[in-house]
Amino acid sequence: MRITQEADYAVRIIHYLALTGEKCDAKNIAENVGVSTRFALKILGKLGQCGFIRSFKGASGGYVLERRPEEITLLDIVTAIDGPIAINKCLTVDSTCSHTAAATEEGGCPFRKVFDEVSRDIEAALGRVSFARFMQEE
């Protein structure tokens, strides 16, 4: 399982906004995170729709965190950008498994059960890490 580059940048954007603690414009955010302004704007839009950041329009516009760093976890940001954690496609809603018929007769696919358990473990681990942790390490 690998998070997308978009989710990685979203994590870094949240971290940057948490560190600055003040309103920042998209260009400044993009430069400090190491992403193009256009891609940063796309990510900022998604983060705003999910309620993690607040945007201000106009000449003195910019972005700030909508919630405190301790209220935002890595799981929140990764799933907001990439969707639910699923280490195998058989765990996704729109997936069909060619082994389903045989597995149903035997009580379920043993691999799917393990993949689901591991996915839940990853979710739990990411859910325990808030951005406050990174503030303490700075």
Q: Where are the domains of the chain?
A: 5-137
Per-residue confidence (pLDDT) for residue 101, from 0 to 100: 52
pTM equals 0.85
- The whole-angstrom separation of Cα 30 and Cα 69 is 20
- The whole-angstrom separation of Cα 138 and Cα 135 is 5
Q: What's the CATH number of domain 5-137, 3.40.50.10490, 3.30.450.20, 3.40.50.10210, 1.10.10.10? A: 1.10.10.10
Higher pLDDT, 108 or 79: 79
* Cα torsion 78, 84, 86, 92: sign: negative
- Other CB atoms within 10 A of residue 35 CB: 21
Query: For 9-62, what is each residue's pLDDT tens digit?
Result: 999 999 999 999 999 999 999 999 999 999 999 999 999 999 999 999 988 899
Strands annotated E in 1-138: 53-56, 62-65
